[in-house]
Amino acid sequence: MKGLDPQEEVKESARSLTELKGKLSGTHHFELPMENSERHIILIKKTASTPKKYPRKAGTP
């Protein structure tokens, strides 16, 4: 779940999505009822198996 406008973060994630075999499949916009604040849910679809080098061991950059 993301706040106001997730487009910048989605744009920045393009390389990671490719590397981890995912594809943006959509976004859903809604408002929280009590706060009346805007939120977005980003949907990612797996396109293939994740490469064997992921997930990395703790502490490995």
pLDDT in tens, 16-39: 999 999 999 998 888 888 888 888
Helix (H, G, I), strand (E, B) or coil at 19: helix
Q: How far is CA 53 from CA 4, 21, 30, 35, 57, in A?
A: 33, 13, 36, 41, 9
Q: Which of 51, 52, 27, 50 is nearest to 38 (CA)?
A: 27
Any bridge partners for residue 26, and if so which? 43
Residues of the chain above pLDDT 70, percent:
93
pLDDT, mean over the chain = 87
- Under the banding of pLDDT at 50, 70 and 90, the label for residue 2 is low
